[in-house]
Amino acid sequence: MTSPGFFSVRGDVEVARLLVPERSYKFRQVAGRINTRLFSHICLANYRLLQNYDNGALGRDSCTNRPSRRAARAMTIADFCAFNRIGLINARLRSPLVRIAAIAAIHGVALLAIYRTEYGPFAVTIALLTWAFLNFLWLIVLRRPAMAATLSLVLFESTIVLSQFKFSILSMTLSFFDLLIIDTDTIAFLLTIFPDLRTALVVAAIVVIPLLILVWGVDPFRLRVCMSSCGAVVSLAALAGLASMAPEQPWEPFSGVNHISNFVRSAVVSAYELATHGWLESDLVVASRLKTTLGEACHPPGKPPHIVMVLDESSFDIRAAPGINVPSGYGDHFRSFDGKTRSFMVEATGGPTWYSEYNVLTGLSARSYGRFMFNVTRIAAGRVRRGLAQALRHCAYKTFSLYPAYGAFLSARRFQTTTGVEQFTDLSDMGVASDMQPDRFYFDQAWNVLRRERSGAPLFIFVYTAANHFPWTSIFRPDLTPDWKGLGNAPEVDEYIRRQSMSAHDYSDFLARLSHDFPQDSFLLVRFGDHQPAISARILEPSLDSIAVAQRIMQDDPRYFTTYYAIDAVNFRPVDTSSARQRIESPHLPLIVLEAAGLPLDATFVEQKRIFERCDGLFYRCNAGSEARRFNRLLIDAGLIKEL
C-alpha cells in the first residue's frame, strides 16, 4: 500500500505541473492522463486517512513549536485539493462551448457598435462587410478566430472613438486620408489642446495589450488559410463594389454618424483619386517651361511700402441677402481707397478658413487637390514653395504671420514657413488661450511688429481676425458696443452685423494709428473675407429648403462663394491697380498685392498674369480647371512643387 507521504509528494509535483504552462508535448501527454474526478476522490480519501493516522495532525512539535511532519502532510494534501478546485474551474473555462460563447460575445459587441453608430441599410451593410473583412484578414495571418475577432473589435472601436473625437473638434468625422498623412504637427496639436490624451492612450495600451496576450493563450481553434482567404476576397469585393456605386459625398463627413461606413467609403474614393491624379491635379506634360529667376535681383522702381494683408473672418456684404436691415454706413467697410467695392470669389462657404489661407499665400487653388482639399495645408506643407511671401522675400521683405490658433493646427506653421513666412506667431506666442479676441487685439500685435521691426527692410504682415467667428448664438463682448440696438433681424443675423461693426471700427482705428504713429512710413493694406458665414446658407435664398441650398453649393453657385476684397493705403498711393477688377478669384490676390505695391513680378507671377488676362480674373473656375492644371505642371517642372 502506498503511504500518505507518497500522495503528498506526488500531489505537489502534479500541482506544480498544472501551474506551469502546457508547452511541451511530453507534459501534455502527462496532463492528458489526469482524470479530474478520480483525482478528487483520491484527494478526499487520503485526507481522511491522514486524519485517522495522525490523531491530531494539526498539532505542533513540542520541541520546535513548528507544525509536525504529519500536520505538514495534511496541509500539503489540503493545498493540493484547493489547487485541484482551480483545475476544475480552468477545465470548465477551457470547455469548447465556453470559448465559442466568448467569441460570439466579441462579435455581439461589434454588432452593437454598428447598431449604435450606423444609420440606414446601406451604411449598416458596409459596416458588416467591413467587420467580416477584418476578421478574415486577421484569420489569414493568425488562424485564431478569437484573436482575429478581438483585434478586429479593437480596430472597429478605435475608429469609432477617433472619429467621434475628430468630430467634436472639427465637426468632421474620420476619413481614410487621416491615415495617409500622419504628421507630428497633428499629434502635437492634439496633445496641446487635450493634455490628458497622452494618459488615456497609455491606460488604453495597459488594458488592451494584456487582454490580447490572454486571448492568444486561450484560443484553441484554428481555421484554414484558404477558407479565410476566400472570405476576405468576397467581402472586399462586395465592399469595393458598393462603395463605388455610391461614393462618399463631400457633405457626409459633417453629419457626425456612420463612422465605419464613411471611413471605408472614403478609402475607396481616396484610392481612386490617388490612382487617377495623385495628390494634386496637373497636366502630364506641357510644351512650355517657366523661366528661372534664381540669382536675379529684385529692383522696385521706388521705396516699397510695408504690406499688411488682413483676413476678415467670415465677412461679406450681408446686403446680398433679401430683407436684411443694416445700420447706416454699413457698406463703407467694403470700399477701397478709390471708393469702389470689389467681389472676391472664394473656394469655401461657411467654414474652412484654410482654403483661402492657401489661396492667398500660394496663389494656387485648393480645389486642385480634389477630395483631399480639406487637408490642403497639411499636404502642401514642405512641398509647395511658391507664393506671395516667397516673392516678397526675393524683394528683401521680412515676412510675418499672426495666426489666431495653434501653429500645429492642420500643419499651419510648417505650411506657411514653406511658402516663405519667416516669423510665424501663433496663439500661444501671443499669450492668450482663445482665438476669440476683438480685432483690435490682432491689430495691436501687428502694430507691435511694425514698431519693433520696421527699421531697415520693408515688412509683410499677414493678420488674421477672429471676432466674427461662429457661433453667433451668443453675444460676444457686449461691453464693446454699449449703444448697440437690435435691427429687427433674426438674433444670429443681428449679432453677426454687430460684430461686423466692431471689426469696421477696429480697422478704422488701426489705419488712424498707422498714420499717426508712423508718419514717415508708407503702408499698403489689402483685406478680404475668407468665406461667408454659415448663416448665409439660410438667408441668401430663404424660400429654399436645406436640400435645395445644398444642391446650390454643390453646383458652385457664386452667390454662396462671394465675399469682398478691398485695397487701402496710408502715406502711399497704390502703383498699379489695373488687375484689381470688380471680381477676381481668390488665388489671384497675391498678383493684386504685388502690382499695387509696385514690385516686379517673377516668372511664376508673369505666367499667372497671363492666366488672369485669359480668364478675366478667374483661376480654377476657368475652363473647368484646365488652366490650374497646366500651371501646376509648370510649377512641378520648375521644382516649386515637389512630391505631389
Residue 79: per-residue pLDDT: 54
Q: Would you call 627 helix, strand, or coil by DSSP?
A: helix
CA 531 vs CA 359, 582, 588: distances in Å: 12, 17, 16
Residue 557's pLDDT band (cuts 50, 70, 90): very high
Cβ count within 10 A of residue 529: 25
CB 536, CB 472: distance < 8 Å: no
Distance separating alpha carbons of residues 506 and 432, to the nearest angstrom? 19
- Is a pLDDT exceeding 70 seen at residue 177? yes
Residue 7: per-residue pLDDT: 35
Residue 89's pLDDT band (cuts 50, 70, 90): low
Determine the longest span between alpha carbons in the chain, in angstroms. 118
Spatial neighbors of 19 by CB under 8 A, at least 6 apart, are 83
- Is a pLDDT exceeding 90 seen at residue 213? no
Cβ count within 10 A of residue 337: 17
Residue 211: per-residue pLDDT: 81
Q: What is the mean pLDDT of residues 589-613?
A: 97
- Smallest CA-to-CA distance from 111 within 95, 131, 92 is with 131
CB 632, CB 346: distance < 8 Å: no
Q: Which residue has the higher pLDDT, 252 or 319?
A: 319
What percent of the chain is predicted at pLDDT more than 70? 83
Which range (83-87, 104-108, 340-344) has the least confidence?
Answer: 83-87
Distance separating alpha carbons of residues 609 and 337, to the nearest angstrom? 23
Residue 11: per-residue pLDDT: 41
- Stretch (H or E) spanning 523: strand 523-529
Residue 460: per-residue pLDDT: 98
Distance separating alpha carbons of residues 344 and 140, to the nearest angstrom? 55
Q: What is the mean pLDDT of residues 226-235?
A: 93
Residue 162: per-residue pLDDT: 87
- Is a pLDDT exceeding 60 seen at residue 51? no
- Smallest CA-to-CA distance from 385 within 409, 433, 420, 424 is with 420
Q: What is the mean pLDDT of residues 592-607?
A: 96
Q: What is the mean pLDDT of residues 461-472?
A: 96
- Is a pLDDT exceeding 80 seen at residue 367? yes
Q: What is the mean pLDDT of residues 8-12?
A: 39
Q: What is the mean pLDDT of residues 604-612?
A: 97
Distance, first Cα to last Cα, the chain:
86
Q: Would you call 6 helix, strand, or coil by DSSP?
A: helix
- Is a pLDDT exceeding 60 seen at residue 283? yes
Q: For helices 96-117 and 259-277, what crossing angle results, to 10°?
A: 70
**Beta bridge partners of residue 308, listed in sequence order:** 461, 525
CB 536, CB 321: distance < 8 Å: yes
Cβ count within 10 A of residue 591: 24
Distance separating alpha carbons of residues 319 and 314, to the nearest angstrom? 14
Residue 291: per-residue pLDDT: 80
- Strand 583-585 to 398-402 pairing: unpaired
- Smallest CA-to-CA distance from 313 within 567, 476, 529, 506 is with 529
- Strand 342-345 to 562-570 pairing: antiparallel
- Is a pLDDT exceeding 70 seen at residue 195? yes
Q: Would you call 564 helix, strand, or coil by DSSP?
A: strand
Residue 270's pLDDT band (cuts 50, 70, 90): confident
Per DSSP, helices labelled H in 376-483 are 376-380, 388-394, 412-418, 427-430, 439-453
Q: Phi then psi for 616, rounded to 5 degrees?
A: 55, 50
- Mean pLDDT score of the chain: 85
Cβ count within 10 A of residue 453: 16
Residue 56's pLDDT band (cuts 50, 70, 90): very low
Grid look-up 507671377 returns: 605
CA-atom Rg of the chain in angstroms: 35
In the sheet with 306-312, reading across from the earlier edge strand, the strands are: 423-425, 398-402, 459-464, 306-312, 523-529, 562-570, 342-345, 583-585
- For 209-243, letters b (16+ CB in 10 Å) and e give eeeeeebeeebeeebeeeebeebbeebbebbeebb
Q: What is the mean pLDDT of residues 37-42?
A: 46
Per DSSP, helices labelled H in 33-144 are 36-54, 69-93, 96-117, 121-142
CB 585, CB 621: distance < 8 Å: yes
| Residues found in the chain | 644
- Is a pLDDT exceeding 70 seen at residue 13? no
Residue 91: per-residue pLDDT: 56
Distance separating alpha carbons of residues 110 and 151, to the nearest angstrom? 11
User: How distant is the alpha carbon of residue 207 from its chain centre?
Assistant: 26
Spatial neighbors of 393 by CB under 8 A, at least 6 apart, are 399, 420, 422
Spatial neighbors of 101 by CB under 8 A, at least 6 apart, are none
Residue 206: per-residue pLDDT: 85
| 322 prior amide bond cis, ω within 30 | no
Grid look-up 502534479 returns: 14
Cβ count within 10 A of residue 421: 25
Residue 47's pLDDT band (cuts 50, 70, 90): very low
Residue 419: per-residue pLDDT: 96
